[in-house]
Structure 1
Amino acid sequence: MSGQRQQVDISTLPLPQLNQLAQQLDQEIEFLTASLSQLKLTQTKFAESQDCLSKVNKENLDKDILVPLTGSMYVPGQLSNVQECLVDIGTGYYIEMSVDASKDYFKRKVEYVTKQIEKIQPLVQDKYKMKRVVMEMVQMKVQAQLAAQQAAPVTAGGSS
């Protein structure tokens, strides 16, 4: 197979194939929507991390803080270093960076994720449009079948 996409006129497809296409589009929409949600969540976390770094300054040196151990568990601590911080870069790896470098890191991450969101959103919209067209075609075919059944002569082998 050459990997090229082939266009098909959906009006030529039978009803079962149209229904199958609609289901496939539903799955694609669900996957892309879930991906968008995950990207937006990631974008928010990076932006929050970037915002938190604004609190790491000389004015807050040696002040009491709550240190997050998990998303919902914090322990008391003190801010003892306002020059550097540890940055989670994923898969259990941390890098010690200056606060300014950390801010720049999170800024780049937010920009990258934003670009990915901007790429996926039009795909979701296109899938919704395709789904609407397919469903309109399904409706037309069902109506055509009903009209054909009603127009067909009723032949009952019975009494005269």
Structure 2
Amino acid sequence: MSQISLAEQPHLQQIDLTKLNLQQLTLLKQQLDQELTVFQDSLQTLKIAQTKFQESGSCLDKVTPEAKGKEILVPLTGSMYVTGQMGETENVLVDIGTGYFAEKNIEDAKTYFQNRVTYVSEQMMKIQQLGLEKSRIREATVEVIEMKLQGLGPKDLAERT
């Protein structure tokens, strides 16, 4: 447990944590803490995006030919709406990012949102795996720091694991 390596990145070498001094271990732990925070923030952002794509896809179920001409609420801001009437029900404008919109029929729009949900979910899984690996490395680093603070040597650590 006192040696760490990242299996997904073969260009990195294995490091024996017991050969690092307390300052190096502390810096490593701080770096890992920062990376874990970034991973958590990224997961939070991706979860929000995933939810928005899912909501957008499910809203398309309400756009039917029967809805044409019905009264709807149109958002002007996050908290202000005006009444309007449903116009076209065959096509919708889909926000594809950075201020660009694409006109799609309902089925294509549903497929687009489902594909976005799938992609975001895959990215979340990748980040979770990286986070677990970084967390494991952090735990090993903390263990070695504690060992060094208690004055135990590498031989003692090997007996503990």
For residue 12 of structure 2, the aligned residue among 5, 9, 13 is: 5
1:68 is displaced (CA, Å) by 2.0
Point out where structure 1 has 5 or more consecutive residues left out of the alignment: 146-160
2:55 corresponds to: 48
Please identify runs of 4+ aligned residues in structure 1 that moved more than 4 A: none
1:106 aligns with 2:106: no
**With structure 1 as the length reference, what TM-score do the two structures score?**
0.85
Percent identity, aligned pairs only, is 48
Determine helix, strand or coil for the equivalent of 1:87.
Answer: strand
2:35 corresponds to: 28
The letter of the residue matching 1:73 is: M
For residue 137 of structure 2, the aligned residue among 94, 108, 130 is: 130
Give CA-to-partner distance per residue, 1:62-84, whole Å, 9 cap, x none: 11111123333322111111101
1:130-149 alignment runs, 5 A limit: 130-144=137-151
1:4 is displaced (CA, Å) by 2.6
**With structure 2 as the length reference, what TM-score do the two structures score?**
0.84
Separation of aligned partners in 2, 1:63 and 1:8: 66
The letter of the residue matching 1:72 is: S
Give CA-to-partner distance per residue, 1:24-81, whole Å, 9 cap, x none: 0001101111111111111111000001100100222211111123333322111111
Structure label with greater radius of gyration: 1
The letter of the residue matching 1:19 is: T
1:5 is displaced (CA, Å) by 1.3
Determine helix, strand or coil for the equivalent of 1:86.
Answer: strand
Q: Which moved more, 1:71-80 or 1:83-92?
A: 71-80
Size of the alignment, in residue pairs? 143
1:148 corresponds to: none
The letter of the residue matching 1:62 is: G
